[in-house]
Amino acid sequence: MSDDFIDLQSDTQTRPTAGMREAIASAEVGDEQRGEDPSVNRLCERVAELLDKEAAVFLPSGCMCNNIAILVHCRPGDAIIADQSAHIVTTEAGAMAALAGVMPETVAGDRGVFSAEQVIQAIRPEKRSLPRTRMVAVEQTANLAGGTVWPLEALEAVAETAHEKGLIVHMDGARLLNAVAASSHSAKAYSGPCDSVWLDLSKGLGCPVGGVLAGSANFIEDAWRWKHRLGGAMRQAGVLAAAGLYALDHHVERLAEDNRNIRLFAEKLNGVPGISIDLALVQSNIAFFDVSATGLSAAAFSEKLAARGVRIGAQEPDRLRALAHLDVTREQVLQAGDIVVGLARELVQS
């Protein structure tokens, strides 16, 4: 990323702050593979406590958190019920198939949120010729579905049904803390119904690297085996964990600002000729908007924005996705909104 841009492309664009770099510089470290890195141990205890699980493991990325959860929970030939927009289905290079030999059983949720009834319908009957349905995966927030917050009642209903049917419930909690900031519920309330759950440190929390996967002590023991097999076991990883601990102390409360900022951005775009945006969909730090009525594709619109100093990615042929995060101020988000509106007006008039 360049300082010349207002970068709303992704909350992965956050760079470690001065305070975080100090925490990194003064981190206590040890051999993480041997369980001897005090900073990593502290981070795992902190996240396990935050999510009300017995144990947690520090991993290099959110993708690895998902992959390991799937590898532990499933066997080759199993099927996972997930929304059609889910990161594990759309954006992990087919890892569930390539690594775990598992197939997705996708459902069409309402903005990424599906119902207990849809789960029941997606479960394959017990029959030798059919794949064994093993797991239900939910994403909080549902990123590519619009940044939707899974309502607690919907999550509880899905998890209860899944458990009744003998299925495991896994939460991709890349932006779980954004959902917490956007709602009146705690992280524990959302993680409670799930057997495994993880947080991404490298999105809105602003760390350079990492995710933390939590679950039962047995689950984490098995997860550790996969961590070694996949080459994810580390050594003096305390320098990375220190960033995570710093983020949990300093960057959680402020996620509400990101949610507010993107809301203001979305409100600026609402009703502008050429742009279509569904404000009901803007629930966390993500806003999708459609620019087809300007006559440009999302990619072409995105290029024109870049020429004006705003980076917002084309997520779909007609839609762009903007995210607010730690590295953009409210003023910058509003300025970006003005630039988007200005471009749309010009295109519609010409």
For residues 131 and 124, is the Cβ–Cβ distance under 8 A? yes
Q: Which lies closer to ligand PLP via its Cβ, residue 87 or residue 134?
A: 87
Q: Please say whether the dihedral angle defined by the alpha carbons of residues 140, 145, 146 and 152, taken in this order, is positive or negative.
A: negative
**By CB under 6 A, how many residues form the interface with ligand PLP?**
12
Provide the minimum distance between the beta carbon of 211 and ligand PLP in the complex, in angstroms, as a whole number.
5
Rounded CA Rg of the chain: 20
Kindly give the pairing relationship between strand 310-311 and strand 6-7: parallel
Establish if 274 lies at the interface with ligand PLP (CB under 6 A): no
For residues 158 and 169, is the Cβ–Cβ distance under 8 A? yes
Collect all residues with Cβ–Cβ distance below 8 Å to 69 and sequence separation of at least 6.
170, 196, 198, 213, 215, 223
For residues 243 and 208, is the Cβ–Cβ distance under 8 A? yes
> Of residues 102, 174, 243, 296, which one binds ligand PLP by CB under 6 A?
174
Q: Which stretch binds ligand PLP (CB under 6 A): 40-48, 60-68, 236-244, 324-332?
A: 60-68
d(CA 287, CA 40): 34
Provide the minimum distance between the beta carbon of 185 and ligand PLP in the complex, in angstroms, as a whole number.
18
> Of residues 53, 73, 87, 321, which one binds ligand PLP by CB under 6 A?
87
> Of residues 20, 51, 63, 102, which one binds ligand PLP by CB under 6 A?
63
Establish if 206 lies at the interface with ligand PLP (CB under 6 A): no
Establish if 200 lies at the interface with ligand PLP (CB under 6 A): yes
> Of residues 37, 78, 105, 172, which one binds ligand PLP by CB under 6 A?
172
Q: Point out which residues bind ligand PLP (CB under 6 A).
A: 61-63, 66, 87, 139, 143, 172, 174, 200, 202, 211
